[in-house]
Amino acid sequence: MSFESRSILVTGGAGFIGSHLVDALVGMGAYVTILDNLSTGSRENVRRWIGHRRFSLQVGDCLKAEDLGKAMEDKEVVFHAAANPEVRAALTDARVDFEQNVVATKMVLEEMRKSQAANIIAFTSTSTVYGEAKQLPTPEDYGPLIPISLYGASKLACEALISGYCHMFGLRSVIYRFANIVGSRSRHGVVWDFIQKLRKNPEELEILGDGTQSKSYLLVDDCVEAFLVGLEKPPEKLETYNIGSGTRITVTEVAKIVLEEMGLKDVQFTFTGGVEGGRGWKGDVKTMLLDTSKIEGLGWRSKHDSAESVRIAARQLFGIL
């Protein structure tokens, strides 16, 4: 698929991953409309495009059919990145994942069904749909899928809705199951959290869990490239791809990298001990590594491993780059 001159909607396009995707799409010659309620995204993330003839920002909500209908008018492709980005949010508000993820996705799909033009949806899912996978690296056809968080459960529900709409109403979809995406403009996740804690107290760092949690991290630039490669040949109905670096590191290793990039030494680590065997919180998947051979078969390769991705993200977020 060539994106030049295509009319595209990016929900959540003022957010972390969405804004980087918008950068790439506008740069490739696409006409891009963002629908974002700016609850976690910001105008600053897309400031460079404001006023550009091929870009428009519509402040609105995916939970409002009127906003969606206006934003989707004459669009050919929908990148659905709008969602609650924080896995731990359900611990204080169990409604947020259902409303911001499941209901919002259903609203997007319904407007696409009504549309005369929009028939391709690219969806940002998550590795957490696998739950505590017994097979590492985990391939896309692994099962059964047993998510252990409301966030993972809601994303899996979104995937099921997308599959239903594709098979019943002729939509086409590419679903991306992401590892932990890091980089500039992120305002959540372990790298961001560590930097904020260390800015407040550069002598001590609290690490949630026992520090042995081992996960895969991917720089957002690599993530966006994979996003676009997966759509070069849109499927007849539905395709799913894992997106990750193919490597993993522990949370303690992440902390050490952040300290190095901030130029801090002799910082005392304190571990909360975690829950249920050292997790950072209830619903935290302790070990994750994705099998990315399927997307690599299309010609994509991560340019950075997990450690490199974390290091670059730490530099960007700390303001070194």
Active-site residue list? 151
Asked if 113 contacts 171 with a C-beta cutoff of 8 angstroms, the reply is yes
> With 0-12 CB in 10 A as exposed, 13-18 as middle and 19+ as buried, what is 7?
middle
Question: Structure tokens of 243?
Answer: 């997106």
User: What letter represents residue 256's amino acid?
Assistant: K
Asked if 249 contacts 309 with a C-beta cutoff of 8 angstroms, the reply is no
Asked if 147 contacts 122 with a C-beta cutoff of 8 angstroms, the reply is no
Q: How far is CA 79 from CA 6, 13, 35, 219, in A?
A: 13, 9, 10, 19
Q: How far apart are CA 102 and CA 100, in angstroms?
A: 6
Asked if 119 contacts 101 with a C-beta cutoff of 8 angstroms, the reply is no
Q: How far apart are CA 53 and CA 17, in angstroms?
A: 22
Q: Which H or E run includes 11?
A: strand 7-11
Q: How far is CA 53 from CA 32, 46, 67, 68, 93, in A?
A: 10, 14, 21, 21, 40
Q: How far apart are CA 240 and CA 15, in angstroms?
A: 23
The contacts of residue 218 (CB under 8 Å, 6+ apart) are 178, 179, 180, 181, 182, 243, 244, 245, 302, 304, 306, 309
